Amino acid sequence: MRERTLDVASLRPGERVLDVCCGTGSLAIVAKRRVGASGSVHGIDASEEMIARARAKAAERGREMAFAIAPAQSLPFPEATFDVVFCSLALHHLPDDARGKAVEEMRRVVKPGGRVLIVEFSKGRGLSALLHPVALIHRRKTRQILDEAVGLMRVAGLGRIVSAELGFGVLGYALAYRD
């Protein structure tokens, strides 16, 4: 799933990447491998425990990365800092009134021409999507959060939005660009 997510983000060597709500850093660590030594990956999460684990995992793998404690609604970076900003399976954890601000912040910190990728729950198809373990665990949160994310991207001023299934049960993505 991580590799597919990064394929959709079209990460290239040398790019600057931000993982919003990075959790334990698993996706960020794989992203660092893709952008290489000439690129950089930063991860933020509101949880001190998650950031501590992310730092430890990166160190264990010999990856030079920066992790910081920060809420998605107030990213501690200047405008237009990153080539790619992604948020994977985390937007649904934010309070309803915080999601829009988080997406606005993602747009603010991505460079013009840069990409914002949100991976979230989508409608899914058929019985296998309905009974998928991820859907069962998060049943109450699967209220078409991906559709909401697409709307929030539009409101934030992102364009050229593409939304599709990620290929893993009820997961989908929305990819947008800052013009």
- Domain holding 62: CATH number? 3.40.50.150
Whether pLDDT at 136 is above 70: no
pLDDT single digits (tens) 55-75: 999 999 999 999 999 999 999
For residue 128, give the 3-state DSSP assignment. Answer: helix
Domain that holds residue 165: 2-177
**Confidence category of residue 54, pLDDT binned at 50, 70, 90:** very high
Domain count, the chain: 1
Q: What pLDDT does residue 109 have?
A: 98
For residue 98, give the 3-state DSSP assignment. Answer: helix
* Stretch 81-89: mean pLDDT: 97
